[in-house]
Structure 1
Amino acid sequence: MRTTLRALSLAAAFLTVATGVEARSLLDYVGQCVPFAREASGIAIYGDAWTWWDQADGRYARGHKPRQGAVIVFAKTDRLRLGHVAVVSRVVEKRVLMLTHANWSRQNGERGHAEQDVTLYDVSPRNDWSSVKVWYRDSNGLGGGIYPVEGFIYGTGRTAPELTARNPDYVGALIDAYVPEAAAR
């Protein structure tokens, strides 16, 4: 209990500094993906998202298998000029997971908001998480883009209490991945 209260206090302090507004939860965060992922995962890496993979070398374990609490590093592309980082909130099955991140979908017409337990689908030909599709609020399903991924950075276990919901929608995540046209109905 004391650890949870301390983590919530730290998250609120972080959000007050980062946004200038006192927030009740990490999920109230509005801003860039990097500070959000750092606070949610406990992985102390700084700089643009695309630099995290190389910065983690020798400091944190890295790999290509998702684990709850790991940071997934999206590569720098024309669409993601600074890359993207997100935190794995749940592993649903071998090609589907949920992540919690900030600054992806638009909410109320603006980017930057945190999203909890959104679907990530491995579309790589070798099932190695090198290419993914991400749930996108604007289309209410998986977005049309395929994004290259560097891999996963594994932290030391200190993650934010709001990383995942009490009852995430596993079935919805599987439907998003394997029956994407169902979201349009």
Structure 2
Amino acid sequence: MPRNLIAVAIATAAVAAGCSGHPSPEQPATDGPMRLTGDELIVCMPLKGSKGHYTFAMTALNNRGDRPLRVTAVTPVNPRNLRLTDIDITFSEDGLFGNSTQWPPDSATNPRNSASWKARKPATEVDIPTDPPEGVYNLLVHVVSDPGTRDASLDALDVDYTVNGKRYRTRTTISLRLKPAC
């Protein structure tokens, strides 16, 4: 078979399979207005006990669009030996809550943070405005490691959201590793 004909056949099969690079109607677009803070980073926290509770809260959600956005789902990417039990958002004038080897995090009891901790809501109930006041919308994730595990991880979080009825997805750049020692 001539090479040109093979190339056309492969391209046709890719388009037919939905691999054209454009999202299908079922897939959210990836070019939305949400911007996440943080460089590519691997966060390592020591495993504790047979069933550890952790706070994974190093991501600020920023809306660079001209309309409010609402998170519709947060999904772990390649989770291993852990689960997400609470996924909240809170607004804080004092920055990110940060990671912790407990839930709630130590920073929640700090008098500067206690009001924003108490004001947190499930992520799917928060509208993130286009021009928020000075501060950050912090994604707060309660992670629970499986009992008896010696190694747990997730590669990132997929954050699905809507703006004016259109669906989008963005991926965080921070990974989590739970190990006996970091």
TM range (shorter): under 0.3
Larger radius of gyration: 2
Name the one with the larger strand percent. Answer: 2
Name the one with the larger helix percent. Answer: 1
Determine which structure has greater relative contact order: mean sequence separation of CA pairs < 8 Å that are 6+ residues apart, divided by chain length.
2
